[in-house]
Amino acid sequence: MNGPKLNELPDDSEQLGPYVSSLRRRALQSNELSAVRTFSDDFLLKFLRARDFDVELSLKLFLNYHRWRRESPEISTCLSPSSVLDLLHTSYHAVLPQRDHTGSRVLIYRIGQWNPKDWSAFQVFRISLMTSEIIAMETETQRRGLKAIFDLQGWSLGHALQVNPSIARKISSVLSDSFPLKVRGIHLVNEPMFFRPVFAMIRPFLPDKIKQRIHMHGSDFHDTLCDFFSPHVLPPEYGGEGPGIEKACQDWTSQLFRSEKLLQQIATHPTGDIAITPGDSLISEEVDIDQLSE
């Protein structure tokens, strides 16, 4: 049975057992993780699904994930939505409620809502990591991956100065081979001419597969985005018929705060292996985010 067919099997399928056992054995033999005694099945399955059960590629991804966590503590050790509350309140980021026609999660980032005088690129990137950790726990997202829309309206010199070669490398490493998610597409809209030097800084670090999945739509994106996404998926502001972008951002911010306890557990765990069972909810408790801002 090949990788794509294996990926359709439920997590408790006996046919997946040998792959989980093989990845666990290879990971525990690694010098980089010599102090770790074991890993949960759910945790290992995230990496196997992200690489269609190719154990060699899954191991590489697994080790890259842990290396990234060690080398980027300024981001990885703080996955608290409360730490970026005011930025989230600007409606900067959303995971849309509807998946696209391929089953991929659809994420939107509104760069113009980020004031670079108030928030560093590290803090902004932290939001991406929080979202990634949450959706990577969804079996369907492990199978189908994600697509991201970056709205660059409002991009300024202040934003450009925040993205130095160091953070460009960190961003590209997560996009390519350091996080257990398949990046199925990256769509840029409203990109100004002076965004291109920053993109040129990030591009060399990206593998060819990711480069081929980057689409620049410019300001006439309402027509071209619909070539990639069904109308019911996108907010009206992006040419669709789904919920408005403000509501989508507010709903996802609420989800992040309901997951705050879980995110903090991931951030402080030596390997990030905080498994949840299929019956569990990512919701830890109801949170009134308006009260948090007072």
Alpha helices in 10-91 (DSSP H): 17-29, 41-50, 55-71, 73-76, 85-88
Give tens-digit pLDDT for 110-161: 999 999 999 988 889 899 999 999 999 999 999 999 999 999 999 988 988 8
When pLDDT is cut at 50, 70 and 90, the band that residue 275 belongs to is low
Whether pLDDT at 250 is above 60: yes
Predicted pLDDT at 1: 67
Question: What whole-number percentage of the chain has pLDDT above 70?
Answer: 92
Prediction pTM value: 0.89
Predicted pLDDT at 293: 42
Question: Are 66 and 76 in contact, with CB atoms under 8 Å apart?
Answer: no
Give tens-digit pLDDT for 197-226: 878 887 887 888 888 999 999 999 988 999
Question: Are 205 and 223 in contact, with CB atoms under 8 Å apart?
Answer: no
Residues of the chain with CATH 1.10.8.20: 3-71
Average pLDDT over residues 78-94: 94
Residues of the chain with CATH 3.40.525.10: 81-258
Q: Does domain 3-71 have CATH number 1.10.8.20?
A: yes
Predicted pLDDT at 198: 79
Predicted pLDDT at 288: 40
CATH node for 81-258: 3.40.525.10
Predicted pLDDT at 77: 87
Phi-psi region of 100 (alpha: psi -120 to 50; beta: other; left: phi over 0): beta
Which residues does residue 94 pair with via DSSP β-bridges, in sequence order?
Answer: 108
Predicted pLDDT at 41: 94
